[in-house]
Structure 1
Amino acid sequence: MNDNLSVICEPGDTQIVDRGFRDVAGVFQDLGFTVKMPGFLKQGEKQLTAEQANDTRMTTKTRWVVESFHSQFKKWRFFSERISQDYIAYIDILVRTVAASLNKYRSRLYEGKSPEDYALANKMLLLKSRSSHLEQLIINGDLSLREQWNNIYDIEPDFNFPYLTLDFLREYTCGIYQIKQSSSYAKAHLFNNDDQFEFQLFSSNDSLLRCRLHSKHSRTTKYYLCIQFDNDDDDDPIKDHYCQ
């Protein structure tokens, strides 16, 4: 593996991998590479910290082009199904042939060299190191996502939440993936919850909104999403968010 990687990589290069590489991450490091991989929960932990979650998002967002290329790869019937061990001796040639064909005749998935791309990358680097104020309040015991919340329409029938444009959402989420996922996610939630979302305001701070959502991956798991907003700030109405 060292000889093969040395052809295309240099010491100090970063290997951006998924969790399936966790058993060989040490090998990469021994070869002089930096390894970036989505975070793991340690025994007894219930969720990643905001810093760990941001680092994981950075890794997955950077790696998406690899996953997209894999998706193109699997459109070839041979690679979309289980491959017989009879082809092991030839798999290297087959992979190289298909990869070369895709590179030659398919358009590039992503250029990533426009001023907008550089601006987005710089913003992601800035956000990566920013801590969550809501997380600190919860850790310090000054805020609970499970107590002291009131249903919005019981206390404020005319509740007003900032209007968020698609441009703002794209900038806030650093892309379009979450926006594309939101429609099907919302429909699934409404189907399982009598066509309703449940919203609450914090009893002592009406700029904190809470919503309870089902996990995308497990119907039995629910999360509390907290959003801090400011109706008077048209340019930056969402100040913070945290999910527990």
Structure 2
Amino acid sequence: MPSFLGRGEKQHSVEESNTTRLVTKLRWIVESINGRIKFFRYLDKVLPTNQVPHIRDYVQIACSLINRYFKPMNIGDPEADELLGAKMLFLSKQINELKNKIENDGLDKQSYKWSKIDSTDFDIEFPRLNEEELRNLTLGTYQLKMAKSYTEEHFDSEGKYEVLVSTEDQFLLSAKIQSRHISSKCYQLWISFNECVVLGWYCK
């Protein structure tokens, strides 16, 4: 089960967040299969009680058609999947060093110095990642498939995306991100990096 916020809490701990991400990684394939079943309109709504004795047969027929004519959900090999699972478990137990740096150095305080950057004034050496590197970073394609629509939600009326860079650390970016679920809520995101790779991230 994913973690739930307790009374008065505003954010999960690192451990709770990692556990919730693991659950999400496991659940998305289940939800994807459910979505395929709901492709059949009859199964895309609440069924009357007099249909309960027949639901099993309907679902079996739908799944048989899906297995025969739909593209497989997973075309990878079991060994690679097992390695990915082991990597996810390992990373879920790691300490978020960037979070500690932000809290200890006061990077989340308004007094910390940030400056806006845009495409015409972008002189930092942020790494360019190809699709495979992004998949390794996100441990799969779930976030990548949502990235385009999610990014579009954060453009302002002029099609701009505000990003801030630290004036004291050239290898640290910050951005304000609107919540996917609550339109009135924004999060502050930090990303640490070097010339080659993204080193860490933290959202508050």
TM-score (norm 1): 0.72
Q: Which residue in the other structure is 1:126 paired with?
A: 90
* CA–CA separation in structure 1 for the residues paired with 2:57 and 2:152: 44
Q: Which residue in the other structure is 1:117 paired with?
A: 81
Within the candidate set 165, 178, 182, 1:218 is matched to 182
Check the 8 A contact 1:132/1:240 in 2, yes or no.
Answer: yes
Q: Post-superposition shift, 1:108? A: 4.0
Q: Which residue in the other structure is 2:108 paired with?
A: 145
Matched AA of 2:138: T
Q: Higher relative CO (CA 8 A, sep ≥ 6), structure 1 or 2?
A: 2
Q: Post-superposition shift, 1:62? A: 1.5
What's the RMSD between the two structures over aligned residues?
2.5
Q: Post-superposition shift, 1:109? A: 2.3
Q: Which residue in the other structure is 1:81 paired with?
A: 45
Check the 8 A contact 1:199/1:212 in 2, yes or no.
Answer: yes
Q: How does 1:27-42 map to 2 (within 5 A)?
A: 37-42=1-6
* CA–CA separation in structure 2 for the residues paired with 1:106 and 1:193: 40
* CA–CA separation in structure 1 for the residues paired with 2:66 and 2:191: 43
Check the 8 A contact 1:152/1:200 in 2, yes or no.
Answer: yes
Relative to structure 1, the CA distance from residue 107 to residue 42 in structure 2 (aligned partners, 3 Å threshold; closer, same or farther) is same
Relative to structure 1, the CA distance from residue 194 to residue 149 in structure 2 (aligned partners, 3 Å threshold; closer, same or farther) is farther
Q: Post-superposition shift, 1:125? A: 1.5
Moved beyond 6 Å, runs of 4+: none
Q: Post-superposition shift, 1:97? A: 4.4
Matched AA of 2:198: I
Relative to structure 1, the CA distance from residue 105 to residue 180 in structure 2 (aligned partners, 3 Å threshold; closer, same or farther) is closer
Q: Post-superposition shift, 1:112? A: 5.3
TM-score (norm 2): 0.85
Matched AA of 1:66: V
- What runs of 5+ residues in structure 2 fail to find an aligned partner? none
* CA–CA separation in structure 2 for the residues paired with 1:158 and 1:111: 39
Within the candidate set 27, 30, 34, 1:66 is matched to 30
Q: Post-superposition shift, 1:51? A: 1.8
Larger-gyration structure (1/2): 1
